[in-house]
């Protein structure tokens, strides 16, 4: 099985998770940053995993546009979707439904909440300052490796 892992990231967490998924999949996989390759050719793939991070309740517009533009092609493939976010897992389904069409989500074999992390080196000055102020005294979010493992297992079953 050939899998395309299409992702968008702001601070690098979705990129890191995409690479981890690629390592774990049993078949051949290609990792594509949608911000660098805006129209990947999906014809050679049996399956597609879409990954994004959440910022102020939204995924990156490149991911939204990619799914909308390729919805019919995507629905003919094995699908998975994951989100990286600092908010708790209790918000996961809400963010999925706010950001992706129902017919896309209904076709996804696997849906993953991978947690999140703050990579301050990849953020601009204003984003850094806002993040530091908002997170002061709160536990820091982190990637949840067990959720990635479960996602890959569910996707391949």
CATH number at residue 61: 3.40.50.360
Average pLDDT for 89-113: 97
Q: What is the pLDDT of residue 44?
A: 96
pLDDT tier at 118 (50, 70, 90 boundaries)? low
CB 82 within 8 A of CB 49: yes
- Structural domain count of the chain: 1
- State yes or no: pLDDT of 136 exceeds 70: no
Residue 115's beta-bridge partner residues?
143
Which residues form the domain of 85?
2-156
pLDDT > 70? residue 48? yes
pLDDT at 65 over 80: yes
> Could you tell me the pLDDT band of residue 10, with boundaries at 50, 70 and 90?
confident
């Amino acid at each position: 099985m050939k899998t395309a892992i299409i992702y968008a990231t702001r601070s690098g967490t979705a990129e890191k998770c995409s690479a981890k998924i690629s390592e774990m999949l049993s078949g051949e996989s290609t990792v594509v940053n949608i911000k660098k390759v805006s129209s990947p050719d999906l014809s050679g793939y049996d399956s597609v995993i879409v990954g994004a991070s959440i910022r102020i309740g939204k995924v990156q517009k490149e991911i939204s546009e990619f799914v909308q533009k390729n919805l019919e092609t995507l629905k003919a493939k094995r699908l998975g979707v994951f989100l990286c976010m600092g908010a708790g897992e209790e918000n996961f389904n809400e963010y999925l439904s706010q950001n992706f069409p129902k017919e896309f989500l209904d076709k996804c074999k696997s849906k993953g909440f991978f947690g999140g992390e703050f990579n301050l080196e990849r953020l601009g000055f204003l984003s850094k300052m806002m993040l530091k102020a908002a997170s002061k005294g709160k536990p820091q979010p982190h990637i949840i490796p067990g959720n990635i493992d479960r996602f890959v297992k569910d996707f391949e079953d």
